[in-house]
Amino acid sequence: MFKKLLVPVDLSPQSMMMVEIATCMEKYGVKEVMLYSALDHVSKRDPLLKALDERVSKAGLGHELVTEVRKEAAPAILKAAESHGATMIAMAASGKGRVREFIVGSTSLELLRRTKVPVLLDKFPLEASDDPQAYCDKAAPILDRVLVSIDLSKVSRTMLPFVQQIIDAGAREMTLLHVVRSSKYSMIDDKRFHEVKHRMEVYLGKLDAKDCDVGIHLHFGTAAYNILEAAREIDATLIVMGTTGKGYLRGMTLGSTSEEVIKGSTRPLLLIPS
Cα–Cα distances in angstroms (integers) from residue 141 to residues 26, 51, 106, in the given order: 12, 23, 28
Which domains does the chain possess? 4-138 (3.40.50.620), 145-272 (3.40.50.620)
Taking residues 107-118, report their average pLDDT. Answer: 85
Contact (CB, 8 A) for 87 and 3: yes
Which pLDDT score, from 0 to 100, does residue 188 have?
Answer: 73
Per-residue pLDDT tens for 15-55?
Answer: 888 998 999 899 999 999 999 987 666 676 788 888 999 99
Per-residue pLDDT band for 239 (boundaries 50, 70, 90) equals very high
The torsion angles phi and psi of 12, rounded to 5 degrees, stand at -75, 160
Which pLDDT score, from 0 to 100, does residue 41 have?
Answer: 63
Per-residue pLDDT tens for 157-166?
Answer: 899 999 999 9
- Please check the confidence at residue 58 and state whether its pLDDT lies above 50: yes
pLDDT winner (highest mean) among 39-43, 70-74, 191-195, 212-216: 212-216
Which pLDDT score, from 0 to 100, does residue 78 have?
Answer: 93
Percent of the residues in the chain that have a pLDDT greater than 90, as a whole number: 52
Task: Spell out where the chain has E strands.
Answer: 4-8, 32-37, 62-67, 88-92, 119-122, 145-149, 173-181, 213-221, 238-242, 269-272
Taking residues 210-231, report their average pLDDT. Answer: 94
- HSE toward the beta carbon, residue 265, CA cutoff 13 A: 31
- Please check the confidence at residue 170 and state whether its pLDDT lies above 90: yes
Kind of pairing between the strands at 119-122 and 269-272 = antiparallel
**What torsion do the CA atoms of 138, 10, 96, 122 make, to the nearest 10 degrees?**
-40
Per-residue pLDDT band for 149 (boundaries 50, 70, 90) equals very high
Which has more confidence, 101 or 169? 169
Taking residues 139-155, report their average pLDDT. Answer: 91
